[in-house]
Amino acid sequence: MSRTPGGLQGALRGDWPVFMCGFRPFFILTAASAVLLTLVWLLMLRGILPAGMPGGSVLWHGHEMLFGFVTAAIAGFVLTAVPEFTRTAPPGRHALLRMLLLWLAARLAYALAGSWPAVIGLWPAALCNLALWVLLLVEVLPRVWNAPQRQHVSFAWALAALALLQVGFFTAASLGGNSLAWLYAAVGMIMILIIIATSRVSMSVVNGLVEQGHPDRQETDEVGYLARPPRRNLAIVTIVICSATEFALGHDIITGWTALAAAAAMLNLLNDWHIGRALFTRWALMLYASYWLIALGYGLMGAAWLGAPLLPSAGRHLLMAGAMGLSIFAIMVVVGRIHAGLWLDRRRWLPVTAALLVMAALLRAAAGLYALAPWMTLLHAASGTLWAACFALYLGVTWVVLSGPRSDGQEGCAEPLARSGGHASGGGGC
């Protein structure tokens, strides 16, 4: 038979470093989709690009940011972190390639849904998205279920919940139901997943364990920060109640009070972080700020539903552009370095980009204030452009790390080598 050097066979054979670990292809997709999806949305808002897909541009934008951008980030994280947490082998190249192709097919199928007969509509997109969730669960569920004490099984339940919410979205879109209600519920589920994931990562980051084995750092067994279950579980329960109430009642006073309860629970959760100087590193502060954005987002939504002069979208975009954007960025700059065999990035671009992401979220939230309604279009454009630029910068700075070979001679998702030549101890990358 003829030989085919490089190409698809080369990727599966091991010639493409991008398939060396789960975070690599999906963090590239995360950053690239953040840029492309946002810029396309801005062009649609200006009427420069047509929005021919079923349901219009708003539905497409909301769905693709949640189930395109965010799902790529979730896949990159769980396919890297869950094998580490459970001490199992990472997914193989064939599995990563199948999931990558399904993600791309899902994006294309939604964008082209207006080009084929209405009876077909969004169903190809629905099938591709559902197949992606199935493959993710095939990789994640057996690992967390068979692990001792099943302490990471919440990741599988979160993935399954998001899959069901997406099925609900496509069903509602096809039958003329309220598709946005399913997207709003998905926002709440993603906030819960952020809390679940951050509770694992933050203990390594805040306590300095993420670089355990760094040649220039003194080892310590002291743990100053603990993500305590009672406060975390209270925050999760209040977010579930708020999401369920909004799904059932929509814009209602009761929904407003449940949102304020979620905000209060998130503020209470912040008390776990207040441990002194250890909090004041760029990586810890990014994760800490994402919790603040969740609290403020629910606070603003609650205020809107209780009659304050603003739209609920002001708070919702603090959750989406703010908490989602910043926490995903923080996870990518930590996981994407440590599991490429590199220590954390201490260059100035990182805190500057994080600050600009927060600024973009605040600009988008400001567009929901009644007092700033005359400048809404300008605020949308400024916020979206700035937000996309942040992820474009991330992609440019980290491209070699994400797509290139490892510089330490190791393979897969291994953490950096300590000075002694052994692996960094503690498995603190995730």
What is the SS3 assignment for 423? strand
Torsion of CA 381, 384, 388, 390, to 10 degrees: 100
Helix (H) or strand (E) holding 338, with range, is: helix 325-338
Residues 369-414 have pLDDT tens digits of 999 999 999 999 999 999 999 999 999 999 999 999 988 888 889 8
* Contacts (Cβ under 8 Å, ≥6 apart) of 329: 286, 353, 354, 357, 390, 391, 394
| Per-residue pLDDT reduced to its tens digit, 58-89 | 999 999 999 999 999 999 999 999 999 999 99
Instruction: Name the most confidently modeled range: 4-8, 14-18, 141-145, 206-210.
Output: 141-145
Whole-number Å distance between alpha carbons of 93 and 124: 25
Report, in angstroms and rounded to the nearest whole number, the Rg of the chain calculated over CA atoms. 21
CB contact at 8 A, 122 and 179 = no
Where are the domains positioned within the chain? 19-153, 178-210+226-407
Q: pLDDT-based confidence at 185, cuts 50/70/90? A: very high
Q: pTM of the full predicted structure?
A: 0.93
On the question of pLDDT at 423 being above 60, the answer is no
